[in-house]
Each structure stands twice: as structure tokens, then as C-alpha cells.
């Protein structure tokens, strides 16, 4: 009898360990947020070969992506419909369709305020001084206004500072999303007699990327899959307005081990749209496309490891599809634009580019006839591989943009 109870105790321990393992793995593998498409059932991924509770879209009322109303509620996912595994936010949505991109576009971005990128010591009659450091200005600060007046450009800011002639002025800066008021004084340069601030600032940038998709329902577009950073401060550039410019591909340098190549292009005078939002998930704006072929956007649980294609422009020929493989998926990635690892397998693309190059960011990823993501980063020591973002993330941001940038659109019109 003693042996029987000992055996039973071992069996119970193994069973408890198995249940604990399933719960632990379920917590890690089940997404924190799940979008369920109307009239389509979604089965939570099985863990250790055991199916968890099946969710049906009709049972949950949540966000409809077209309107982006925050009405989500947590749903408890259970093992065998008994044992709690994880609370997940469920969103009920209609299937959305977009026109896949792949073409290069030029980026002309103008900041909302001016960005402090460096300091300079000014020689005065009493020695070297740095007014910016004295005023506790930091590199990366965004100057929004001076004495209550909005700063519109670098030249405007410079003019205000010169005209202050050493008098105290109040500068409002944005630092890490927090507004700070500072008192600032220019100093008189010894040799020239001019009043100087000792600040290097930036109010614009330019570059190129790849369009991920066009949304014909509201004439919006999305591209890049990651934000545009200031090259000196490594902060996301705050966008006031911007232009989506037409680009002609002029050449490229191939990626090699330890060296990332890039696409080279020339911007024409033709503007194809306006930029409204520079976000962690990409750059967004308004543009109209003549193309009509629309494909469904996949929600992240529909994305699978395995074969897929990217669509991009790496020659002066038409847009082309190239074979890749999705090798890893991170359903709960803490890095917003690193949801997947992809690997280029197409011999033609490898011959031309060596893998992923700068300028390919935003290239749409197609799997099973759906837009599943966009290329975002390249591995420097293995340019055949890189990261990608879920298309679902970009679509959510794009839909949110419509509300965020309504006033900007009115102003541009």
C-alpha cells in the first residue's frame, strides 16, 4: 500500500509539473493582445501538443480597427476550459484590405520645433563660455518656443537669439515628452562682437525608404516600419510636416559581412503625398495610388514560420517579388518593430543586393496571399537576415493617424 501511495504521489507531482509547464509556456507564447476577425474562429496555439480554450469572434465585443475605439476587455484563456492560463485583450475586427507597396519614396521631413544636436564654446572677454550648458539645455532637447512665440525653423531661432543681445529670454523645450521652461542668455563673442548662443540645431532631414501599403479607404499610406531618428541625438524626430517625394533609383551598394549596403536614389520635384506621423512603427501620411490590387492584412496570429515573399524595388525595372523565409516570430515582442526574424533566400536578390540593404525598410512581406509585415532592420554581421514588424501594428497606427493628423491635413489643403 505504501508503494502505491508513493507511486500515486510521483504521478501527481508529474501531472502538477506538466500543468505548471503548460501554464508557463502559455503565458510566454499566447499574445498579450489578440485580434479576432469577424466570422472567423481563432484557436489559441496549443502548448506541448495540448489545445487550450478556443475563442470565437462572435463572443467578444471589442475594437473595430476602422474606428480605433478603445473598448477592449481582458479575456481569461483556460486550459481544458478549467485552469486559468492567461488574461489576453481581445479585439473584434473586420478584415481590412490594402494595396501592397514596394516602391521607393523620398522623405523630406520638417520638425516641430528645432532639435539641439551639439554645443559650442564661445570666446568672450572673460574666457570661454557655453550658454546652452549654463542654461541646462541638453542635447536632444526640442526647442518649442521663445518668450511664448513658436519656433518655426533653425533660421528663425537663430534670429531670435541674435536679437536678444544678451538679455534673458525664456525658452520652452520638450525633453523626453516633458515640457521644461529655461532661462537663456546669449554671450558676446570677443573678436566679432556678435551675440552668440553656442548651439547647433536641426529642423529637417531627408532620406528614402519603401512604401509598405496604401489604404484606399482613406487615402493614407505607411512605410519604413521603424521611425526616423536624428543622426546626432538618436531620438525620434518630431514631425511638423513633411513631403513624400518621387524617387528615381540611381544605384546601390551591396551588403557584405560587417558592412550594410544601401539603395541610392535621386528625388525629383514631384510630390506624391504629405507626411504626418513619425512613429516607432514607421512613417505615415496621405497619398493616392492608381493601383487597385488589394490584399487582406493578416493579424499576427495568422503569421507563420516558413516561406514568404517581399516586394521591393532594387533595380530600375518594375516592382518584383523575392523569396524569403520567416524563421522566428515573437508574439509578445517588447521591441515594437522587431516582431519577426526573416532570411532572404532568393538567389537573384542575393546576387544584386547581398541581402537586406538600407532603403529596403518598409518592404511589404506577403504570406499566403496576405500582408503579414514589413522589413525593418538588417543584421550587420549577416545581411541575409533581419527583423520585420507585424503589418497589423502598422495598420493600427495608420488608422490612428487619420484622427491625429486631421488638422494637419486641413492646413495642407
User: Residue 191: CA atoms inside 13 Å, Cβ hemisphere, count?
Assistant: 3
Q: 156 an active-site residue?
A: no
Q: Which of 93, 141, 203, 226 is catalytic?
A: 226
Q: What is the rounded CA–CA span in Å between residue 324 and residue 375?
A: 11
Q: 361 an active-site residue?
A: yes
Report yes or no: 376 and 386 within 8 Å, Cβ to Cβ.
yes
Q: What is the rounded CA–CA span in Å between residue 63 and residue 72?
A: 6
Q: Which of 154, 361, 363, 398 is catalytic?
A: 361
Cell numbers representing residue 250 in the block: 540611381
Q: 192 an active-site residue?
A: no
DSSP string, 30-43: S-SEEEEETT--EE
DSSP one-letter code for 58? G
DSSP string, 193-233: --EE--EEEEEEEEEEEEEEEEETTTTEEEESSSPPBPTTT
Cell numbers representing residue 214 in the block: 496604401
> What phi and psi, each to the nearest 5 degrees, are found at residue 183?
-100, 130
Q: What is the rounded CA–CA span in Å between residue 365 and residue 376?
A: 11
Residue 370 contacts by C-beta under 8 Å, 6 or more apart in sequence?
295, 296, 297, 298, 302
CB neighbour class for 334 (10 Å; exposed up to 12, middle 13-18, buried from 19) = exposed
Buried b (16+ CB within 10 A) or exposed e, 228-258: bebeebebebbbbbbbbbbbebeebebbeee
Q: Which of 141, 246, 346, 363 is catalytic?
A: 346
- The closest alpha carbon to 360, from 339, 385, 382, belongs to 385
Could you report how far apart the first and last alpha carbons of the chain are, in Å?
Answer: 86
Catalytic residue ranges: 226, 346, 361
Amino acid at each position: 500500500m505504501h508503494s502505491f501511495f508513493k507511486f500515486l504521489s510521483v504521478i501527481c507531482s508529474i501531472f502538477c509539473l506538466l500543468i505548471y509547464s503548460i501554464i508557463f509556456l502559455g503565458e510566454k507564447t499566447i499574445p498579450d493582445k489578440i485580434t479576432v476577425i469577424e466570422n472567423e474562429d481563432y484557436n489559441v496555439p496549443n502548448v506541448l501538443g495540448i489545445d487550450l480554450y478556443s475563442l470565437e469572434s462572435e463572443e467578444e465585443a471589442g475594437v473595430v480597427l476602422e474606428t480605433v475605439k478603445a473598448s477592449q476587455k481582458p479575456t481569461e484563456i483556460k486550459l481544458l476550459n478549467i485552469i486559468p492560463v492567461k488574461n489576453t485583450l481581445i479585439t473584434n475586427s473586420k478584415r481590412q484590405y490594402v494595396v501592397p507597396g514596394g516602391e521607393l519614396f523620398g522623405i523630406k521631413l520638417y520638425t516641430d520645433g528645432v532639435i539641439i544636436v551639439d554645443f559650442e564654446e564661445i570666446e568672450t572677454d572673460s574666457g570661454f563660455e557655453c550658454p546652452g550648458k549654463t542654461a541646462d539645455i541638453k542635447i536632444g532637447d526640442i526647442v518649442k518656443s521663445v518668450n511664448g512665440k513658436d519656433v518655426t525653423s533653425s533660421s528663425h531661432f537663430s534670429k531670435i537669439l541674435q536679437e536678444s543681445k544678451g538679455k534673458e529670454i525664456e525658452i520652452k523645450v520638450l525633453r523626453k515628452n516633458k515640457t521644461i521652461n529655461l532661462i537663456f542668455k546669449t554671450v558676446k563673442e570677443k573678436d566679432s562682437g556678435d551675440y552668440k548662443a553656442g548651439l547647433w540645431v536641426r529642423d529637417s532631414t531627408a532620406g528614402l525608404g519603401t512604401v509598405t501599403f496604401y489604404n484606399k479607404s482613406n487615402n493614407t499610406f505607411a512605410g519604413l516600419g521603424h521611425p526616423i531618428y536624428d543622426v546626432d541625438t538618436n531620438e525620434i524626430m518630431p514631425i511638423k510636416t513633411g513631403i513624400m517625394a518621387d524617387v528615381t533609383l540611381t544605384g546601390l551598394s551591396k551588403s557584405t559581412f560587417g558592412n550594410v549596403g544601401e539603395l541610392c536614389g535621386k528625388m525629383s520635384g514631384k510630390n506624391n503625398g504629405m507626411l504626418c506621423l513619425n512613429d516607432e512603427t514607421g512613417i505615415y501620411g496621405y497619398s493616392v495610388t492608381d493601383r487597385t490590387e488589394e490584399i487582406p492584412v493578416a493579424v499576427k496570429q495568422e503569421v507563420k514560420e516558413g516561406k514568404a515573399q517581399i516586394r521591393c524595388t532594387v533595380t530600375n525595372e518594375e516592382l518584383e517579388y523575392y523569396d524569403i523565409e520567416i524563421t522566428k516570430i515573437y508574439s509578445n515582442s517588447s521591441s515594437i518593430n522587431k516582431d519577426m526574424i526573416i532570411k532572404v533566400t532568393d538567389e537573384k536578390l542575393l546576387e544584386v543586393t547581398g541581402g537586406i540593404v538600407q532603403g529596403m525598410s518598409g518592404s511589404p512581406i506577403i504570406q499566403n496571399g496576405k500582408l503579414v509585415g514589413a522589413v525593418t532592420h538588417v543584421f550587420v554581421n549577416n545581411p541575409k537576415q533581419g527583423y520585420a514588424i507585424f503589418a497589423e501594428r502598422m495598420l493600427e497606427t495608420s488608422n490612428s493617424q487619420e484622427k491625429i493628423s486631421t488638422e494637419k491635413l486641413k492646413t495642407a489643403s
